């Protein structure tokens, strides 16, 4: 019987529109989580897949020693595509010239991701290669071609074998972005390695296996591989590389994660408000049931089943709308980004259902319990039950529920704590502020018949309800301000790293005698060039006289000295300059002066890694010569900029006597390629590294990430607006009663409209002030802790927040109340009955 009553109640209220608010709130939660999770999941997968071209695969395994072929065989059994790469340096001979070159021997499947671009002649158009060079052929990049004075079709000696230069190697998807190495590139067929007889015991060779396939298959292979990995083997993906694209991907993922978390907070607020309002509207029916003899247990069963039906119906609506919305969003993003988005995983669906059910139950349970406590006398005294005490336990459980859902959704405790704490701060500040403001308002003594007086009286009359509204408005405004400002700061930071005039080529291995002629030639041809940095290879040998650990080979049975101080493990590129590079920031200490002698400036992260303090003495080893330098400053280096950067910069007196070469960054615009090529022909010992295509790839990825972030932000803005709508809807019934009373007392429509507008204007203004201040504090923390951005305050949002909040809430609130104000008194009375 009770089940039938619950079902009939559900159908009746569904037809009458009584379930609109609560169903919309639960559906909003489900839709928000599903849409945001699906869109961010699909966009993240697509961007990552496209970015995987930077390593020519989905994942790679690198080692200084030969990798077992068993790995490739197992990967192929598990449905993955594989490729093998072998790297070594050797001399090339042709036309009575010789040149040291970096050889990459690749299997026929290379590359698994991205494209190899080649040219049939210096002036020919680039074309996409179908596989690597055939046996007996090699591809050389232009630098090697110039150095050996070669043309396509000529022969070159590589070790014990002779090969035909069949194409010019123009671009490799995984070419190392390192201005100190990897410039003289040669691509060889893997089957030809043995012919060269170059690799002998003790040769310095590097190996890499590439893997590509479905994400689950790659992860399954890694779980098989993980127990067998040696310490000198490294498994990595594109996000593991220290590069601009890796940093951009990490930041975008964090932002998209933030958007999802804020969507959960907004949905939780909407459900809490609408659940309370819906249960309040059921007070009279419950009182009537009890008057007619309905038992508490029976009423409880009816409404619990009723809530289950409401929850189930809302879940279906939310999932349907969310799926449609994310599908539309994905299609739009795919066209805008010119990529195909992979289907979303099952996780967004499971998250949406779980979060929707948890929110519906946790934020409805207290209003439901209050509903069961409504006394039968309410049928005679309509005010009974209107002021049920708010349970502190329920508030605590609700807060813990939101925190738990945020943590579950993100898996990141730090980001969850920051957002939750900042939102809690908004609640506390506004709760106290509302008590003060609404309390002091009674003492203002404004004249009757004034819209402002009526607005303040309305605010005072609904002090508790308005406090809740104020908190809801402020949370929505705070979260929206937070995302909008963070998005702009991220994009501005990316764009500042890659301005339109960013360097797109590097000149390396410039001798002292060539430096001035090269500078003059570039200036004469209007080619922009940075300062020339002297460079020399050196090793950190000791800190304060304590030897540092060196790099070891486990396969050669070398043992690491566990007692030695942590070191770099490799040679560093050292430079010496009097003036600090413009793209470096001094974080501690003092930069070199004219009187500086024997000083060194260290990059901040390197100093932390080596546990170095200001005043420490570092011993450097260059060849067989060693010298000491005192640490006098730490620097913050932006590694994402396409400019020469150094871990260690020494005062000029230390390295002035050492032979060095110079490097410089140049900007080669259209029309300057011919002059630049002539420079390389004139100075064949200079190495040129073309990074123009790399820059374009980074810009393209950043634009795609920015577009994705903008779309997700739009979804969150819509969610915020829906939260405000649900909050205003919750007070519609009470506002209709006020309009009837005021009209009965002779109040004019202009007075009522003005009072309504001013009331929402004040609520939005107060909410905007608090939201702006708390948002800025939270932004400062998040930027420094999560996004590695320079933390800064944003005074502009202290003005924008209150103004936008006041206008947005006033416009939205007034628009929703306008229909009520336009109805005549008899119509309002009939609707209230």
CA distances to 31, 118, 730, 788 from 727, in Å: 18, 62, 5, 36
Please confirm whether the linkage preceding 111 is cis (ω < 30° from 0).
Answer: yes
Q: Tokens for 811, please give them.
A: 């416009």
Q: In the chain, which segments carry CATH 2.40.40.20?
A: 505-552+561-690
Q: Are strands 648-650 and 572-576 parallel, antiparallel or unpaired?
A: parallel
**pLDDT at residue 27 in the model:** 80
Q: Give the Cα separation of 710 and 366 in Å (integer).
A: 37
> Which of 277-281, 387-391, 758-762 is predicted with the least confidence, judged by mean pLDDT?
387-391
Other CB atoms within a 10 A radius of the CB of residue 46 amount to: 20
The sign of the dihedral angle between the CA atoms of 567, 572, 576, 579 is negative
Q: Tokens for 761, please give them.
A: 């204007």
pLDDT tens column, 36-78: 777 767 766 666 666 666 677 888 888 888 888 898 899 999 9
**pLDDT at residue 445 in the model:** 45
pLDDT tens column, 550-605: 543 333 444 444 455 566 666 788 888 888 888 788 889 999 988 888 899 998 88
**pLDDT at residue 164 in the model:** 92
> Which of 2-11, 130-139, 314-323, 741-750 is predicted with the least confidence, judged by mean pLDDT?
741-750
CA distances to 34, 63, 86, 243, 538 from 235, in Å: 32, 9, 16, 17, 28
Contact in structure between 614 and 631 (CB atoms under 8 Å): yes
Contact in structure between 574 and 620 (CB atoms under 8 Å): yes
Closest CA to 271 of 716, 726, 724: 726
pLDDT tens column, 17-33: 556 767 777 787 788 77
pLDDT above 80 for 520: yes
What is residue 387's three-state secondary structure? coil
CA distances to 443, 461, 606 from 457, in Å: 11, 6, 63
pLDDT above 50 for 321: yes
pLDDT tens column, 441-472: 555 444 555 666 766 666 666 666 666 666 76
**pLDDT at residue 182 in the model:** 47
Q: Who wins on pLDDT, 284 or 631?
A: 631
- What is the DSSP track for 308-373? HHHHHHHHHHHHHHHHHHHHHHHHHHHHHHTSPPPPP-SHHHHHHHHHHHHHHHHTTHHHHHHHHT
What is residue 126's three-state secondary structure? coil
Over pLDDT 90: what percentage of the chain? Answer: 5
Contact in structure between 530 and 643 (CB atoms under 8 Å): yes
> Which of 201-215, 503-517, 566-580 is predicted with the least confidence, judged by mean pLDDT?
566-580
H helix runs in 238-295, sequence order: 244-281, 283-291
Task: Report the run of H or E that residue 756 belongs to, with start and end.
Answer: helix 749-785
pLDDT above 70 for 677: yes
Q: What does pTM read for this prediction?
A: 0.58
Task: Report the run of H or E that residue 633 belongs to, with start and end.
Answer: strand 625-637
Q: Which residue has the tokens 């993100």?
A: 410
Confidence band (pLDDT; 50, 70, 90) for 630? very high
What is residue 168's three-state secondary structure? strand
**pLDDT at residue 176 in the model:** 63
Contact in structure between 303 and 1 (CB atoms under 8 Å): no
Average pLDDT, the chain: 75
CB within 8 Å of 252: residues ≥ 6 apart: 44, 47, 490, 705, 708, 709
Q: Tokens for 484, please give them.
A: 């909008």
pLDDT above 60 for 379: no
C-alpha 546 chain-centroid distance: 41
Confidence band (pLDDT; 50, 70, 90) for 813? confident
Closest CA to 279 of 372, 368, 360, 357: 368
Contact in structure between 602 and 631 (CB atoms under 8 Å): yes
Q: Are strands 661-667 and 505-510 parallel, antiparallel or unpaired?
A: antiparallel
Contact in structure between 804 and 480 (CB atoms under 8 Å): no
Other CB atoms within a 10 A radius of the CB of residue 822 amount to: 10
Domain covering 505-552+561-690 in this structure, CATH number: 2.40.40.20
Other CB atoms within a 10 A radius of the CB of residue 750 amount to: 9
Angle, CA 689 vertex, CA 89 and CA 705 arms, to 5°: 115
- φ, ψ for residue 588 (rounded to 5)? -160, 145
Q: Give the Cα separation of 326 and 31 in Å (integer).
A: 9
Q: Who wins on pLDDT, 500 or 382?
A: 500
Q: Tokens for 680, please give them.
A: 């390389």
Closest CA to 738 of 828, 632, 612, 622: 828
Contact in structure between 416 and 406 (CB atoms under 8 Å): yes
Contact in structure between 192 and 65 (CB atoms under 8 Å): no
Contact in structure between 173 and 56 (CB atoms under 8 Å): yes
**pLDDT at residue 414 in the model:** 75
- φ, ψ for residue 281 (rounded to 5)? -75, -10
- Work out the average pLDDT over 782-804: 75
Counting Cα atoms < 13 Å in the Cβ hemisphere of 161 gives 19
CA distances to 100, 178, 264, 268, 403 from 400, in Å: 64, 48, 13, 12, 5
Contact in structure between 320 and 26 (CB atoms under 8 Å): no
**pLDDT at residue 50 in the model:** 63
Contact in structure between 340 and 56 (CB atoms under 8 Å): no
With residues binned 3-state (H G I as helix, E B as strand, rest as coil), the percentages for the chain, rounded to 5, are 55, 15, 30
pLDDT tens column, 130-149: 888 999 999 988 878 887 88
Across the strands, what pairs with 603?
635
Q: Tokens for 791, please give them.
A: 């933390």
Q: Are strands 648-650 and 233-236 parallel, antiparallel or unpaired?
A: unpaired
Q: Who wins on pLDDT, 204 or 59?
A: 59
> Which of 198-207, 573-582, 628-637 is predicted with the least confidence, judged by mean pLDDT?
198-207
Q: Tokens for 586, please give them.
A: 């001094």
**pLDDT at residue 561 in the model:** 46
CA distances to 419, 620, 649 from 573, in Å: 41, 12, 9
Q: Give the Cα separation of 139 and 264 in Å (integer).
A: 54
**pLDDT at residue 304 in the model:** 78
Contact in structure between 755 and 454 (CB atoms under 8 Å): yes
């Amino acid at each position: 019987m009770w089940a039938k009553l619950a079902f009939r109640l559900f159908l009746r209220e569904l037809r009458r529109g009584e379930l609109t608010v609560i169903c919309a709130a639960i559906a909003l939660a489900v839709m928000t989580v599903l849409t945001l999770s699906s869109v961010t999941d699909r966009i993240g997968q697509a961007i990552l897949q496209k970015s995987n071209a930077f390593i020519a695969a989905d994942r790679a395994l690198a080692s200084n020693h030969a990798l077992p072929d068993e790995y490739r065989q197992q990967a192929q059994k598990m449905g993955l595509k594989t490729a093998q790469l072998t790297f070594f340096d050797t001399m090339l001979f042709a036309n009575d010239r010789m040149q040291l070159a970096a050889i990459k021997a690749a299997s026929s499947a290379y590359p698994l991701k991205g494209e190899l671009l080649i040219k049939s002649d210096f002036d020919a158009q680039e074309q996409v290669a179908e596989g690597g060079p055939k046996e007996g052929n090699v591809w050389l990049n232009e630098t090697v071609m110039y150095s050996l004075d070669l043309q396509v079709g000529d022969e070159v000696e590589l070790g014990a074998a002779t090969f035909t230069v069949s194409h010019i190697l123009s671009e490799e998807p995984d070419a190392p972005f390192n201005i100190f190495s990897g410039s003289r590139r040669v691509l060889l067929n893997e089957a030809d390695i043995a012919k060269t007889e170059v690799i002998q015991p003790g040769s310095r060779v590097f190996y890499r296996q590439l893997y590509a396939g479905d994400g689950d298959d790659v992860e399954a292979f890694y779980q098989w591989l993980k127990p067998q990995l040696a310490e000198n083997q490294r498994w990595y993906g594109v996000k593991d590389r220290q590069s601009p694209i890796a940093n951009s991907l990490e930041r975008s993922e964090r932002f998209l994660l933030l958007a999802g978390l804020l969507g959960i907070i907004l949905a939780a607020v909407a459900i809490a408000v609408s659940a309370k309002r819906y249960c309040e509207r059921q007070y009279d029916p419950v009182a009537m049931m009890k008057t007619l003899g309905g038992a508490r247990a029976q009423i409880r069963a009816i409404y619990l089943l009723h809530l289950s039906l409401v929850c189930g119906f809302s879940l279906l609506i939310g999932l349907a709308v969310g799926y449609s919305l994310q599908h539309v969003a994905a299609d739009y993003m795919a066209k805008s980004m010119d990529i195909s988005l992979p289907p979303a995983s099952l996780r967004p669906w499971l998250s949406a259902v779980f979060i929707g059910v948890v929110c519906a139950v946790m934020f409805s349970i207290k209003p439901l319990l209050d509903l069961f406590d409504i006394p039968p006398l309410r049928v005679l005294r309509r005010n009974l039950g209107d002021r049920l005490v708010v349970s502190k336990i329920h508030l605590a459980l609700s807060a813990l529920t939101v925190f738990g859902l945020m943590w579950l959704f993100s898996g990141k405790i730090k980001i969850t704590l920051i957002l939750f704490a900042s939102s809690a701060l908004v609640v506390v500040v506004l709760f106290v502020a509302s008590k003060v403001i609404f309390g002091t308002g009674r003492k203002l003594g404004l004249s009757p018949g004034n819209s402002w007086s009526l607005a303040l009286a309305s605010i005072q009359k609904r002090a508790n309800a308005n406090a809740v509204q104020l908190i809801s408005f402020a949370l929505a405004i705070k979260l929206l301000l937070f995302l909008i400002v963070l998005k702009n700061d991220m994009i501005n930071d990316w764009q500042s790293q890659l301005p339109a005039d960013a360097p797109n080529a590097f000149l390396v291995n410039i001798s002292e005698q060539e430096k001035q002629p090269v500078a003059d030639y570039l200036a004469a041809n209007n080619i922009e060039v940075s300062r020339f940095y002297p460079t020399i290879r050196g090793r950190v040998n000791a800190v304060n006289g304590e030897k540092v650990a060196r790099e070891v080979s486990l396969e050669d049975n070398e043992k690491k000295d566990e007692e030695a101080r942590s070191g770099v493990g490799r040679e560093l590129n050292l430079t010496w300059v009097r003036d600090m590079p413009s793209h470096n920031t001094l974080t501690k200490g003092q930069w070199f002066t004219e009187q500086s002698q024997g000083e060194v400036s260290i990059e901040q992260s390197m100093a932390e890694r080596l546990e170095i303090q200001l005043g420490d003495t570092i011993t450097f080893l260059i060849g067989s010569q060693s010298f000491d330098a005192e640490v006098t400053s730490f620097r913050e280096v932006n590694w994402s900029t396409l400019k020469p950067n150094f871990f260690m910069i020494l005062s000029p007196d230390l390295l002035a006597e050492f032979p060095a070469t110079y490097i410089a960054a140049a900007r080669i615009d259209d029309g300057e390629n011919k002059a630049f090529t002539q420079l390389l022909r004139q100075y064949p010992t200079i190495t040129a590294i073309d990074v123009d295509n790399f820059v374009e790839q980074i810009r393209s990825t950043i634009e795609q990430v920015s577009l994705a972030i903008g779309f997700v932000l739009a979804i969150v803005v819509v969610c915020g607006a829906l939260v405000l709508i649900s909050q205003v809807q919750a007070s519609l019934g009470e506002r209709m009663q006020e309009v009837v009373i005021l009209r009965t007392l002779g109040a004019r429509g202009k007075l009522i409209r003005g009072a309504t507008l001013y009331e929402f204007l004040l609520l939005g203004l107060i909410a905007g002030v608090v939201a702006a201040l708390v948002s800025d504090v939270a932004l400062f923390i998040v930027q420094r802790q999560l996004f590695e951005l320079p933390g800064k305050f944003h005074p502009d949002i202290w003005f924008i927040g209150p103004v936008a909040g006041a206008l947005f809430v006033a416009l939205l609130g007034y628009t929703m109340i306008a229909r009520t104000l336009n109805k005549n008194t008899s119509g309002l009375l009939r609707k209230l009955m």
